[in-house]
Amino acid sequence: MQKFTLWFATLCLPHLAAAQAIPDTTSRGTRSFVEVGGLAASASQTPFWLRTRQYGLVPLNNPAGIVRAGTTFFKGDPTDPRRVHLKVGIEGALISSATTPAEPNAVRILLPEAYASLRLGQFELYGGRRREVFGLMDTLLTSGSYSWSGNALPIPKIQLGTRGFAPLGFTNGIVAINAFYAHGWFGKADSVQGSYLHQKALYGRVSLFKRRVNLYAGVVHNAQWAGRRNVGTLSVNGQLPNTFKDYLRVITASETPIADSTSYVEIDRLNRVGNHLGSIDFAVEILGDRSNWFLYYQHPYEDKSGVAFQNMPDGLYGVRWRNAGAVTGGFRFQQVTAEVLSTMNQSGFTTDQNGLFAGADDYFNNYQYSDGWAYRRHIIGTPFITLREDTRPDLRDLRSAYGRLTVSSNRAQVIHIGLLGGWPSGAQVRALFSFSQHFGRPILRDPRVPLAQFSGMAEASVPLRWLGGSELAATVSLDQGQWLTNNFGGWIRLRKIFARPQ
């Protein structure tokens, strides 16, 4: 939770590859898909790795049936970098599941993607919802990027930026930039109505040794701001700061006027306007003849203590190995990803209001935006920071400071392994194994922590000749431990892809 200021104006970027429901191909024509599936488990709560990082589509409770359909198409020639072309994508999902107080509707319709983008060369302007993940990390087998992981339904926004890394011509392609600037709409939430998203990023890449070694660094900055909440001490007559001057303060994370009590309350002067968070990322990529290596670190921040690295060693540490050798017959390991996530330090377990850095950052929690860093009851960032309703029912009263906030545990240690392999036929197997310990929140320690947890999944997908070519995928998942309900479940789905050239 942000307590003191960010003392620099961050710019940011999207990470190395944006995860897409439909591949972001530049081939001309239309690409569509239809998918039907169902899931069930031994407990009423859906297992962790069946529902996590699914863009908010998989319900918390089961059994559930999901029907999805989507399409993307181009207008203009996407292969010509000198001409503007249009890309449109839309995906709808019909979801039927067991009802809960949090999800009272048995049948829901969601739009995880509905966007239009104008593209010219490496640049793009788009509006709508689009599947994205931000940060330097492996997208396929990761435990989840720190601040924007693909765990929640995409937030509608307008975004201007590059598509991937754009080489700077005067450097002969040695230096490349990946950047964007966006404005979004959170819409209605339980605690605040009509708040906005401010988001920006700037990442750089330097290629060395004939592009065999690539160095990356950058920062992503997210802020939730404006909106209305219940009248009280956390707002001025229910209104949170929402003027253009406030927007400039959000962009630059600058201080609010101390003497202006007509527009700001004490928490605005203490925290700056809005709820800020993000990550400062570093990575190195080594491309060999037989294998590729990618090592990365995402450093979290929510205030100036994080920017000054006072919360070390918190962050996401990862290494990805990818098989670059010649394809041969039989099974082949394609990729291994290993990650360690720690959110234990938080600039100190307790607060020191008189110090330069306050401590007790209380990641993803905020008093004004008391739903936390979440959208439609799903954490936006790493799913190992946990909403109260996602834990075991008997742990939802976990002891914490300043009342029961939406995020019940943001101090965690995680070891995560991801494996991917396949055959020349196109059949693949994928597995994720996560070992975690959960310690609640800063300041007050619940006597029941730490709580250990294992969550794992294994998935197999096989191309079929049915319907002129389709894919069948089956996933099994297990939760075993002290933090989540012990559970075993499965998900089976059939997908048909249609491609029509222009």
Of the pLDDT bands very low, low, confident and very high (cuts 50, 70, 90), residue 434 is very high
Parallel/antiparallel/unpaired status of strands 412-422 and 332-342: antiparallel
Q: Among 17-26, 103-112, 127-136, 163-172, whose mean pLDDT is lowest?
A: 17-26
Please give the pLDDT value at position 345: 95
Average pLDDT over residues 426-441: 97
Indicate whether 178 pLDDT > 80: yes
In the prediction, which pLDDT does 2 show?
Answer: 41
Q: DSSP readout, 190-233? A: SS-EEEEEEEEEEEEEEEETTTTEEEEEEEEEEEEE--B--SST
Question: Is there a contact between 442 and 302 (Cβ–Cβ < 8 Å)?
Answer: no
Q: What is the pLDDT of residue 329?
A: 85
The average pLDDT across 341-359 equals 79
Query: Which has the higher per-residue pLDDT, 367 or 198?
Result: 198
Q: Is 380:152 a contact under the CB 8 Å cutoff?
A: yes
pLDDT value at residue 357: 65
Instruction: Supply φ then ψ for residue 67, to 5 degrees.
Output: -120, 125
Instruction: Give whole-number Cα distances, 203 to 216, 301, 319, in Å.
Output: 7, 16, 19
What are the distances in angstroms from CA 159 to CA 71, 84, 179, 211? 21, 16, 10, 30
Lowest mean pLDDT among 10-24, 296-310, 335-349, 437-451: 10-24
How large a percentage of the chain has pLDDT more than 70? 92
pLDDT grade for 234, boundaries at 50, 70 and 90? confident
322-351 average pLDDT score = 92
**CA-based diameter of the chain, in Å?**
73
Kindly report the average pLDDT of the chain as a whole number.
90
**High-pLDDT (> 90) share of the chain, %:** 74
How far are the Cα atoms of 321, 423, 464 from residue 426, in angstroms, in the given order?
Answer: 20, 6, 10
pLDDT band for 27, please (50, 70, 90 cuts).
Answer: low
Q: Is the peptide bond before 241 cis (omega within 30 degrees of 0)?
A: no
- Burial group, residue 171, by CB count within 10 angstroms (0-12, 13-18, 19+): exposed
Query: Can you tell me the distance from the alpha carbon of 350 to that of 27, in angstroms, rounded to the nearest whole number?
Result: 54
pLDDT over 90 at 17, yes or no: no
